[in-house]
Amino acid sequence: MVPLHPHLLEMGIEGFIQGSPDDLLFMWSGKDRKAWRTAKNRITEFVREHLADPNVQPNHAWRHTFKTRGAEAGIGQRILDAICGHEPGTVGEAYTDITVATMWRAMNEYPPYLISVTSIQEADGRSSF
C-alpha cells in the first residue's frame, strides 16, 4: 500500500478509477493480444519521448526515474525503497518500519511530473487518464 501523489488526486484519478471497469486501470487484459501489444507499444513510445536513456527499458524506467527524482527532493533512500516495494538493504534497516504516514509525507515532497500530453484514444474507444 502506497499513498497517491497529491497531483494525481488534483488531476482526478479517483474519478478515473471509479469510472473504470473492474480490470487493469491503464492497460487491459483479455484475449486480444494485438490490442494489448499496440497499447504497450504506444506507452513505450510515449515514455521514450520523455526518458531518453537507452539503457533502461521504458516501463521499468519509472522506478529509476522515481528514485532519482525522490533523492533530488531530499526523500531518504529507505523511504523510496519502501514506496517502490524494495527490501531493506541490511538487517538493521529491516528493524525500521516505513509506515504509510511516512510515505504520505514523502509523496507530498515529491515533485509532480509536468509533461504535456493529450488524451490518448484507446483501441476500445475509451480515453486514457
DSSP string, 52-118: --TTS-TTTHHHHHHHHHHHHTT--HHHHHHHHTPPPSSHHHHTS---HHHHHHHHHHSPPP-----
Low-confidence winner among 3-12, 24-33, 41-50 (lowest mean pLDDT):
24-33
How many angstroms separate the CA atoms of 79 and 103, rounded? Answer: 7
pTM > 0.75: yes or no: no
Residues 35-73 have pLDDT tens digits of 778 877 887 787 777 666 666 666 677 788 889 999 999
How many angstroms separate the CA atoms of 79 and 66, rounded? Answer: 12
Which carries the bigger pLDDT value, residue 118 or residue 107? 107
128 pLDDT more than 50: no
The answer to whether residues 5 and 110 touch, using CB atoms and an 8 Å cutoff, is: yes
